[in-house]
Chains A and B, each alone.
Chain A
């Protein structure tokens, strides 16, 4: 039926046209009444066709015949037919109907652009139907994939588009609006490949309704997503920039420029980027226009950084730093700096000493640092510190350690407000000292010895300016170790003394990740660590035997421990272990080229006597404490502490000594006295003693074992 109607329409038109030669100047007066009547008859017949699509096509195909009836027939018909197409539900069918109507319209009434444009707008409105359920279901039923389906549209779309853009004699503002819709609605690849055509059309557009820079902006957005042909790229940039640079309003300018910077970065070198940046600075500086456009300027920086990972190239772009100077509002400037640093940390693989990069990044880091004040959030400080540390870690002057140290010195003064950075610097300087040692293979020359002393001095000066107490304690210990390793004995002593004198300042509660926690366990941990180091620290000749240990014991004694805490005793137990270790002929570990007490004293009896005295003092303290635990609530503690002391003696003491022997038996009984001991532990301990008694030189343990009864639970 459809085909027949279309055929008839064509035939009718041929007949009508053959009756009278329809020229362009044909008007209803030229037609005779019979022809008019026949024509009218046909239109009535067509108006009665039930189905929408055949009715549309037949009426569109004889559109020209309206000339028989009236002068205005076509100009009335064309918009009506355009609207009619909205009734076609299938978007593919409707786009081809539109293409046909455009073709007929072009042939019959090329001056009626309004309808053509409306066709296009309506098409854009219905485009979303492609992703609706009806079309998708249809594709599934017919077994057609979307990638095969979508390419069916462009021929019709291209046709419509060409009709619209072809030789538009009356260029109206709506044409610009249309172009903008096209560039927004169509796929970027489609626009990008036709960039030069679009630029031509934009140029011809009438400015009045819709400004051209918005059109260029839309084009730029497309080019950010898809690439135009290689040969056109430079020309496109030139054309676009010619227009953009002439924009007077800074807002319009920057909105446009921001989009095109990405295009420039993507396809061109730093030279072109520099030109663009220079242009932006030129436009945005007068009257401080940049103040209103920080978001766009930030975006520009982000894009430049995204494409230029090589920071030596980036900073060699002349206008990069002047561009940064435009960010005069502090918060924005800091944001931009953070951006740059994040990119640097992400992309910089090798450490660098490039002065260009260093200068620029120091400037950037300083900006970030200087923004820190009393109101800065902890999180922000953490972030900034992380970024600055990332930078510091990437700076390396190779073998030129002196320059490295002076860099650290400079950094310290620059970043004095951020504690994590100072910590990093201390670690870096320590590392530098150890690197020196490695290079010198442990044998310092006069020069290198002086250098490491300088490093050590750096740490010694810097640590007190930190606030975190455990940070300081640990850094003192760590730096002391480094000093020792580099044979700076007096400096090492100074560190250890400083640590010891710091211990009384440890507060009861410390802030760990926002919560207040008791510090005792941390202190215990630190002290144990300290003891391990103290073992190999040689005594200073001018101070007494085990001077440092004594000092430490005094401090521990005076420290206000928590009531109901046994930490002090545990520490004393650890001291006993230390003292026991110190009494060995040879220690288990040493520092290269450092004579520890074992070789210094060589097992001297005076030394050992002093050692013993200290042991006795400590043990007395422990026993004293045990006595105080005789109350009901503390009995369990007494039992476990007693057992732990017993184990210490077992592990570290010489049980051939009668006193010790007796003490250990007493402790054993104490542990079990009030039924608080864990039977299994006791059993295992006894088993261990029996096993150990079988080893050579341990026969006295057999006798001991006999005197250690196991209490049965009643």
Chain B
């Protein structure tokens, strides 16, 4: 008796904003007619915070904040207990995406210590003998576009053995001069991060130049919090010993779901940074860090 339950969201890209109406259809398909005890549809959005390994002790007092934070929650009873005919039955639904009070509809974000997710769950209750059917479908929420123009903040950088901090033995480093700029550290999340990098000179051969996109998640509150930086992706922009004096483009697209506009709340923070990583022959690794501010326009 294969009964399938499916949720089809109207928009192909499943992206919605606060104030919009999430609509679609629930599709029940079955070879035979289906008896059921009711079909309900729940829409919910939650923020899940994870304990960081290094701060277990601190959190014990604040375990309340470890509980998932509810952003939005709504359930509708779609169909009263009854019977569906064989074949395909489509039941339309609509959810207005409103938040109460001054609550904000955070943007969908899949991180390591912070997870913001919006789902639609359809439940079909059935008789004691038959198992209940359930189907979940994630949809994406994008934060409301910021009003006003974003001021670009270009950053120039120069990396030489002298500009490096955290060097054990500076004299052992090969000589090099790397210049470049990022077009802006205030980034629009739908636009790629752009810039340029030039290896003016280098004694040692270049093995690789990479852009490391890092998320910095902070969980907790005023009394104690844990700040963790983890890598989202690593994009190589130069492979091998590049030509000296020739500008290599810095170009990185912000991955969907894994990045979101820079977010700061009372309970948690989601921030982003980019590291420009240069690997020199034989095994020197040089990193230059740039905090970013992502926003959606």
Interface residues in chain A, defined as those with a beta carbon under 8 Å from any beta carbon in chain B:
33-34, 36-37, 40, 44, 47-53, 55, 80, 83-84, 86-90, 93, 122, 125-126, 128-129, 132-134
Q: List 6 A-B contacts (CB under 8 A).
A: A47-B235, A55-B235, A86-B249, A88-B238, A90-B240, A90-B241
Interface hub of A48, A89, A129 (most chain B Cβ within 10 A): A89
A87 — which chain B residues lie within 8 A by C-beta?
209, 236-239, 242, 248-249
Tell me how far the C-beta of B274 lies from the nearest C-beta in chain A, rounded to whole angstroms: 14
- Is B243 engaged at the interface, CB distance under 8 Å to the other chain? yes
Contact A89 B12 (CB under 8 A): no
A51 — which chain B residues lie within 8 A by C-beta?
236, 239
| Closest partner residue, chain B, to A32 (CB atom) | B12
A89 — which chain B residues lie within 8 A by C-beta?
206, 238-243
Contact B12 A134 (CB under 8 A): no
Contact A52 B256 (CB under 8 A): no
Interface residues of B in 208-255 (CB under 8 A from A): 209-210, 233-243, 246-249, 251-253, 255
Tell me the complex Cα distance, A525–B240, Å: 79
| Dominant secondary structure of chain B at its interface with chain A | strand
B209 — which chain A residues lie within 8 A by C-beta?
87
| Dominant secondary structure of chain A at its interface with chain B | helix
Known: A34-B12, A89-B242. A84 touches B249 (CB 8 A): yes
Q: Which of A50, A88, A93 contacts B234 (CB 8 A)?
A: A50
Tell me the complex Cα distance, A88–B208, Å: 9
Tell me the complex Cα distance, A90–B206, Å: 11
- Is B165 engaged at the interface, CB distance under 8 Å to the other chain? no
Contact A37 B236 (CB under 8 A): no
Contact A88 B233 (CB under 8 A): no
| Closest partner residue, chain B, to A93 (CB atom) | B240
Tell me the complex Cα distance, A675–B235, Å: 103
| Closest partner residue, chain A, to B240 (CB atom) | A89
A-B CB contacts (within 8 Å), total count? 83
Other than the given A49-B235, A87-B238, A134-B240, 16 more pairs (CB < 8 A) read A37-B12, A44-B253, A47-B235, A48-B235, A50-B235, A50-B236, A52-B236, A84-B249, A86-B242, A88-B238, A89-B242, A90-B239, A93-B240, A126-B246, A134-B205, A134-B241
A133 — which chain B residues lie within 8 A by C-beta?
205
Contact B239 A132 (CB under 8 A): no
A48 — which chain B residues lie within 8 A by C-beta?
233, 235, 253, 255
- Is B13 engaged at the interface, CB distance under 8 Å to the other chain? yes
Contact A80 B233 (CB under 8 A): no
| Closest partner residue, chain B, to A137 (CB atom) | B205
Q: Which of A37, A50, A52, A126 contacts B243 (CB 8 A)?
A: A126
| Closest partner residue, chain B, to A122 (CB atom) | B246
Tell me the complex Cα distance, A89–B246, Å: 11
Tell me the complex Cα distance, A43–B208, Å: 23
Tell me the complex Cα distance, A37–B233, Å: 22
Q: Which of B13, B236, B246 contacts A86 (CB 8 A)?
A: B246
Tell me how far the C-beta of A81 lies from the nearest C-beta in chain B, rounded to whole angstroms: 10
Tell me the complex Cα distance, A44–B254, Å: 9
Interface string of B177-210 (1 = CB under 8 A from A): 0000000000000001000000000000110011
Interface hub of B12, B192, B240, B253 (most chain A Cβ within 10 A): B240
Tell me the complex Cα distance, A125–B245, Å: 10
